[in-house]
Every structure is written in C-alpha cells, then in structure tokens.
Structure 1
Amino acid sequence: MIMSIVALILAELYIFLGGGELLSLGDLLKVLGLIFLSTMASGSMIYFMVSFFHTQNAFGVASTVLGTLIGFLMGIYVPIGVLPSAVQAIIKVFPISHAAVLFRQVLMDVPLARSFVGAPPAMVDGFKSSLGVVFQFGDHTVSSMESLLILVVTTILFFILGVWRMLSPRKT
C-alpha cells in the first residue's frame, strides 16, 4: 500500500510538472480508498494462495507466474478490447480486475469528459468498454457499487479461507 501511495504522489507530481492538473481532493480521497481496498482484496487472495506453498522456492516461482498473470487478468498490459472475447470474459470475472476498473473510472473521468465533448454517447461507451473503464456483460454495465461490492466480498472471503487454511492441520 505504501508503494502505491508513493507511486500516486510521483505520478501526480509528474503530471503537475508537465502542465497537467492535479486530482481534485474528492478524487484523491477516492483513489486512496481504492488503494486501501485493492490492497486488502489482493492481499487476502495472496494470503490464501500462499497457504498452499511449503517452500520458499515454490513461492518464488509462483510469485513470478502469478505476478505476470495478474497483470494480464487486470487488463494492465493490454487494453481489454483487443483481446478475444473468451479472455475478456475471464478478465471481467477476476475479482481484482474490478479494482483496475474503479481506478480507471476515477483517474480518467475528467480527461475523458474533455476529450469526448460533443462525441456521440455510443462512441464514448465503446471507448470506455474497449479500454476497461467499464465492464459489460451483455447489455448490463457493471456499476461502481457492484465492483466495490465484489472487492469487499473478495477481501472477506479470501481472508476467511486463508485463516482457515493456516489454522487447519497440514499433511506433510
């Protein structure tokens, strides 16, 4: 979480020094809340996954593979719209990808509004869907509240599963 906050500060400084605008206080608080929630959700999932590894070497290999996989599953490395439909569906059901959607919504709100002034709503919606600013399942667009709920439930569920795994007797 600390690294994310440092990255946020550096990004804001970079944007400001480049002549851009800083986030409003409200958006900054939203981003800080999202950093906290996404850290908790990711941490609880990793806590549960770590409970299956018994050696440092196995954990190291898994960390490398999972770190790369998570980058794709959150739609970070490649815009979701350029991926095949099946891959898009996997990304959309991966709980932590909803954190990325929420970050994009907050961070891209003002720039998108300025960039698409006068553009047809269908064009704006297509752009948002293609870049993963919103997730759609058929005609249903996932709301911010639904994404937040997914993250909260993920945090609670995987924390409970992780504690259960750590407290249960292990077979060697």
Structure 2
Amino acid sequence: MSENCAARLTVNGSPEDFLGDPRRSLLDFLRLDLKLTGTKKGCDHGQCGACTVLVNGQRINSCLSLAVMHDGDEITTIEGLGPASALSELQRAFVTHDGFQCGYCTPGQICSAKAMLDELAAGWPSAVTKDLTSGPIPSDEELSERMSGNLCRCGAYPNIIDAIRAVMQAEEPA
C-alpha cells in the first residue's frame, strides 16, 4: 500500500486539499472526491479528451495526470467555466449551434475550445498554421486540427467548429 501524499490545489477558484494515494488521477480526485462530475471518464488512456480540464490555463487530459502533481496549480473544470445558471459565451454557443448530440464529450470539448481560443489569442501556431498574420479567424481545417485531441463519437464536429467560430467572430473588433 502506498503512503498518502498531500497537495493543495485551487479548483474553480476554491482551495482544495488532496490527501490520498499518490496514484490517484486528477480526474478521479475531481469526480470522486470533489463531486465535480462534469468532467467525464471516457477511455481512461488519454485518447478521447472527454476528461479535458485546464491547469493554469493549459488543457490537459486529467486521466493521465496524478492529483498530487498539481500542488499549487489552478484547475478549471467545466463547472468553473460557467454554472448552468450563468453559462459562459462558449457554453452558450455550443447550445445555440448544437455542438453536441449525446453530450458526453461536451465538457472536454468546451474546456479544450476555451484553451484553444486562448492559444490563438497568444499567437501559438498549430501543425497546419500557414501564416500567423493571415487573419484573426483560422480555417475550419486549422480549428479542427487544434481540437483533434477531443473525439466526438456522435460526429458533431461541424457544429462544434460553428460554435467556436461564432465565439471568435463575436470577439472580433468592429
């Protein structure tokens, strides 16, 4: 049996203490200990993106990360982006553009899209970026590539891209 380890994390703005098995994933800590069940366990192998959360603003697969590794980190889950009573602009866009069908992947898709929009704003290139100065809104191909770590078994990809594009267009200066 492993000895318990301790870490202090900030989750959706609230300080949270982890005291437990050092082998416990961040995903299981969020879901089982903190009861933040918006983040989903899909493949549990880092291949589907259903468990995507933001750690210090960067998207990660929480199933592949140990909770104890995040001492001092700020974690944002889908619940932290906006509660049901006050959805974020991105969450509202997913609803408006039907960016989901069964909805299982949606929390990870939205968290990933939030980080991707921040990456674009910071000028980070992707594998298919042709020109960083070509314009504020990249092509559908580039948006799809940037979201490629998040799978949707239902095939809602065009609507997910439409939702992301709508948020980007709303943010464009007039």
Superposition TM-score, scaled by structure 1 size = 0.30
Higher strand share: 2
Higher helix share: 1
Higher RCO structure, 1 or 2 (CA under 8 Å, sep 6+): 1
Superposition TM-score, scaled by structure 2 size = 0.30
* Structure with bigger gyration radius: 1
